[in-house]
Amino acid sequence: ATWRYAFEEALEEVQGKFAQKFKEEIEANTDHTVQLFPFGTLGESDDIMEQAQSGILNFVDQSPGFTGALIPEAQVFFVPYLLPQDQDTLNEFFRSSVAINEMFPKLYAEQGLQLLTMFPEGEVCMTTQDPVHSPDDLNEVKFRVMTNPLLVESYKAFGATPTPLPWGEVYGALQTGIIQGQENPGFFLESTKMYEVTDVITCIGHNNFTTAVMANKDFYDGLSEDDQKAIDAAIEASFDYILDYQQGLQDESLEKIKEAKPEMQINILSEDERKPFMETAGDVEDAFIEMTGDGGEEILNQMKKDLATAEQATQ
């Protein structure tokens, strides 16, 4: 059969590289073919998610940044400074996390989705018109965030005026001044030319962009055991591939931006400057628990345990 797989990025961006590897593995090891639908071919992130839930698509890559309405617990990825900044620890966390591998699949299943994997896409940095050295500098800045209530809380705590928008509207909104800032991982800032419509990049180490790949659950459950095994193996191979692909990517991307626009300011904030941003984490955690109740708190606590385990394993 032909399996339809949509994602939120272009073919040569991280989600696209993952999808291409998945397609290659499936086509090498089964009789099936995979048809890829990059960003823009079937609509925004919310559209492809609906299509996957209804079975029009077999596979979808949607980031937790857009899954908050459907699965409020997925917003846990927007508690600032929860994920480690060390790449090995981060990778080990995604590989071994009980929250990701055992708890989240149950929540996605309730929405008709078979969660196949989650993986990181790189450190998120802000791009703005003016330099940001403290939350005061974000005062009055209309800052685009993904459509996710906790991310709104987090940028409020950072001092900005958060403006949730789907991705397709971001470049134009920056160009026309409807918003003055947004955040994304380095490779994406470069490939989508955010430097054409903003002048300053600020990295404060507050997050790594997480994404998730899932299948329509009825589709997955209806497959033969061999096909399910082939999918699981293809996902594993693509997971390893995508972590490897990203080695050094953040720095390379920032360098490419410097080449494309030498006057772009790139500021990596010092530990001291990061402090007031780090101090918001507790309030955002509280907001998360208020939004998600006991279930959310359980996931947050499990994630903290998983992070401690990953840290120990990579020391």
SS3 for 204? coil
Q: Which of 167, 195, 277, 288 binds ligand 6CS (CB under 6 A)?
A: 167
Number of residues written out for the chain: 315
Q: Are 193 and 127 in contact (CB under 8 A)?
A: no
Q: Give the C-alpha separation, 315 to 305, whole Å.
A: 16
CB of 42 to ligand 6CS, least distance (A): 13
63 lies in the binding site for ligand 6CS (CB under 6 A): yes
Among 135, 152, 125, 140, residue whose Cα is nearest residue 268: 125
Q: Which of 3, 4, 6, 9 binds ligand 6CS (CB under 6 A)?
A: 9
Residue matched to tokens 């209530």: 149
Nearer to ligand 6CS, 115 or 146 (CB): 146
Q: With CB under 6 A, what is the number of residues at the site for ligand 6CS? A: 11
Choices 24-32, 72-80, 180-188, 265-273 (CB under 6 A): range interacting with ligand 6CS: 180-188
Q: Are 148 and 78 in contact (CB under 8 A)?
A: yes
Q: What is the DSSP letter of 102?
A: I
Q: Which of 45, 75, 91, 250 binds ligand 6CS (CB under 6 A)?
A: 45
Q: Are 274 and 132 in contact (CB under 8 A)?
A: no
Q: Are strands 2-6 and 33-37 parallel, antiparallel or unpaired?
A: parallel
CB of 28 to ligand 6CS, least distance (A): 27
CB of 311 to ligand 6CS, least distance (A): 25
CB of 95 to ligand 6CS, least distance (A): 21
Angle between helices 225-245 and 87-96 (to 10 degrees): 170
Structure token pair of residue 272: 């001291």
147 lies in the binding site for ligand 6CS (CB under 6 A): no
195 lies in the binding site for ligand 6CS (CB under 6 A): no
Q: Give the C-alpha separation, 283 to 65, whole Å.
A: 19
Q: Which of 34, 146, 152, 194 binds ligand 6CS (CB under 6 A)?
A: 146
CB of 13 to ligand 6CS, least distance (A): 7
Binding site for ligand 6CS (CB under 6 A): 8-9, 45, 63, 121, 146, 167, 184-185, 188, 209
